[in-house]
Structure 1
């Protein structure tokens, strides 16, 4: 099974940079649009007096989005070519919806960041690039759109690429691939453009089909957050006790020594059950039920990990966060912290700094984080959690802060690796 064949990617960029048009062109020219979908788009375009289909309508699916002419929600699309399968998240460009971009890009292997060739790098471009860097998306691709409106100028493309690359390096993004396109006309989206003969690189689709999709999860330390405990009760299996969940990373085999956290008890995997039946091994992102050799007190929210490479347990998190809620996040705020399948009470101890997106520097002494702000915080939990650094393992290094009164999501966080074993 080739688990690296599917590529998850997200689009980002400022308002009117042409994300929805690019995605529509990508789907249309790769023949990934059903005939009835295309007919509906053509009908709407005709009603508007447009002689050619408005391909942006393939992703701007909400009525409110069409009425306002902006993308509000994250639009997910699934398509495939002969070479690869794709899961695409078309994320909003407006500053008001940066938090939606965090949601759409949180599981991406690659980010396509669009820039309007006429305007170059703007603040929202830097904001989206900062989010891309913080989310540790393995690959970043700059798409310089609307090249037809700058006369297909090689110099304009080179200048934008150079500035974008400088910003990316300042944020810790090591490598950027840049492609000049005209999404409206299809230049360099699926087919090479005859109007930019100075560009010899791949089209957007060629790049997506060939780019490395990131780390093979089977090479990472295994992590199995327990979602559900299957207890005895069946007459056929009176002694059955299994621990069900989705492997977020790594590979587990029957006979592997494992540690159950946060308690720290060690045992051995006795069996692995999958929807297809018993299996000698399982790897991320499979959902499985694990049976253990010893009877250990395990509940939802516990974590099963290899005894040789367990995460650390801690009660204090240092993290970079993006504020999703309109409610400001202040020091002293009592919250619920959700980490994988575990939810614990917590308090925000400190707002360390806020990222200034004009010069990409951290500004200490922030009184609060407002909606869409990116900053550094310290959180203290009432119970220990088994935590990885987000830079090492994205799924077990991320968390959410939740309002304990109404259950709304306040903040998305990317944790540093714990400095000690218990945070006491």
Structure 2
């Protein structure tokens, strides 16, 4: 039986120990090869360290090693007897906020680190706001370097209380946030429980990652499947076969379900759900399938098959939140490409709205800029050449998100979320 898969991301300020924490997880779960460990040990000795520098297992770019910071999103894959993991180690520096958006966009959980000596800082608030914006459903506050404050329970309590207020203001429910005191350097409460924190009765970080539910909000959402390919075999046995292949973006689908094809709006019923291994009684979010319908309908790549009872909105005017990723600024009137699901269409950027500010104790949308610079996050109105079936990102992440693309180069310019997250509006 296949094991569950958890996608999670790490975030935090510079020098909070993200790379060391990830290295500790890989090292203590025996998820690295012997020659990698030997290379890290040699490099650590060359640096005059008495213990292995586990951050070297993660910071693979030469520029990262030279500067001592994480620049790009580092994806790591590891597993335990209980569960498989895909980990995105995101940068901590302010100028790489866009990379944090990339790494957290598919996460079902985020581990947000703070230094026990410094507590909640501006970059903590910045990352917490980005995680709230992306609707990451679960959050771990990992208070790192607890050994440097003498394993003081009062320090943990003060930081946890401070962060709890921030998390509530950003829309996180109390039960969605778990606080764990750790020392990534020596391994306290990362994989093994620490004897230095007898006052802490909660789980270790790995224990929490292994036990937290992996059912994300997209599983419980209404059915959505962007059509990637229309299958029409040219054989006598399958002369009348017409299947629509794609990945289930949200919800579940099974034979007998009433669906609507968008943007045309034609309704029909699912007659079968098939895979290369045979038919299925149902298929959930993340499963790649071929859907057969009861009626012959004109469907092509880019269309969306959705729940007829709860269909998305079909519109050519989108109110969105953009995270600008490019060096070149964005100005109203720009003509770009918009990729939504499996469809790409032309788009014109309309008016820019409020921009996310990280000043003060609580991040929120405040001033309205004339243009968006790299790493800016702001509201905007968009007009598309073709009507698109979209959901609010707060309701369905997969069909509530899109990319803006530069037509000449094909480079990704922005990540977009349909709608405005009310929890962040001041």
TM-score w.r.t. length of structure 1: 0.93
Q: Secondary structure at the match of 2:102?
A: helix
Map 1:36-185 → 2, pairs under 5 A: 36-175=35-174, 176-185=177-186
- Check the 8 A contact 2:339/2:402 in 1, yes or no: yes
Structure 1 residue aligned with 2:419: 416
Deviations 1:126-155 (Å, cap 9, x if unpaired)?
Answer: 111111001101101111111222222222
Counterpart of 1:391 in structure 2 is 394
1-structure distance, mates of 2:223, 2:43: 49
1:342 corresponds to = 343
Shift in CA distance, 380/217, structure 1 to aligned 2, threshold 3 Å: closer
Task: Say if 1:334 and 1:347, in contact at 8 Å, map to a contact too.
Answer: yes
Q: Distance in 2 between matches of 1:287 and 1:219?
A: 17
Give SS of 2:171's match. coil
Please show how residues 261-272 of structure 1 align to structure 2 within 5 Å. Answer: 261-272=262-273
Distance 1:375 1:218, change over 3 A: closer
- Provide the secondary structure at the position in 1 that maps to 2:366: strand
Q: Tell me the residue number matched to 1:367.
A: 370
Greater Cα shift, 165-174 or 107-116:
165-174
Equivalent position of 1:421 in the other structure: none
Q: CA deviation at 1:208?
A: 1.3
Counterpart-to-counterpart distance in 2, 1:196 and 1:294: 64
Secondary structure of the 1:337 match is strand
- For the residues of structure 2 that align with 1:279 and 1:169, how far apart are their CA atoms? 41
CA distance in 2 between counterparts of 1:215 and 1:86 reads 15
Query: Hey, what does 1:249 align to over in structure 2?
Result: 250
Give the C-alpha shift of residue 235 in structure 1.
4.7
- TM-aligned CA deviation for residue 220 of structure 1: 2.4
State the Cα RMSD in Å. 1.8
Gap change, CA 1:214 and 1:137, over 3 Å in 2 = farther
2:317 equivalent to 1:355: no
Length, aligned pairs only: 416
- Residue matched to 1:205: 206
Structure 1 residues 226-256: Cα deviation after superposition (integer angstroms, max 9, x where no partner):
0112234335423332211100111111232
TM-aligned CA distance change 1:46 to 1:404, over 3 Å: same
Q: Which residue pairs with 2:424 in the alignment?
A: none
For residues 403 and 381 of structure 2, what CA distance do their matches in structure 1 show? 13
For the residues of structure 2 that align with 1:211 and 1:287, how far apart are their CA atoms? 25
SS in 2 for 1:344: strand
Within 1, Cα distance between the matches of 2:351 and 2:14? 33
Tell me how far apart the structure 2 counterparts of residues 193 and 293 of structure 1 sit (CA, whole Å): 59
Separation of aligned partners in 2, 1:242 and 1:301: 14
**Contact in 1 for aligned 2:303/2:343 (Cα 8 Å):** yes
Counterpart of 1:296? 297
Contact 2:350 2:382 in 1 (8 A): yes
Question: 1:288: how far off?
Answer: 1.0
> Are residues 365 and 219 of structure 1, via their aligned partners in 2, closer, same or farther at CA, if it must alter by over 3 Å?
closer
The whole-number CA distance in structure 1 between the counterparts of 2:2 and 2:395 is 22
* Counterpart contact for 1:10–1:88, Cα < 8 Å: yes
Which deviates the most, 127-136 or 157-166?
Answer: 157-166
Is the contact between residue 138 and residue 214 of structure 1 (CA under 8 Å) also seen in structure 2?
no
Q: Deviations over 1:20-50 (max 9, x none)?
A: 1011111212222232322222222233332
Q: CA 1:198–1:278 in 2, change beyond 3 Å: closer, same or farther?
A: closer
Quote how far apart the aligned CAs of 1:178 are.
1.0
The one-character-per-residue Cα deviations of 1:62-102 (angstroms, maximum 9, x if unpaired) are 22221221111211122222332221111111112111111
Tell me if the contact between 1:161 and 1:178 (Cα under 8 Å) persists in the aligned partners. Answer: yes
* Gapped regions of structure 2 (runs ≥ 5): 421-426
TM-score for both structures, normalised by structure 2: 0.93
Secondary structure of the structure 2 residue equivalent to 1:102: helix
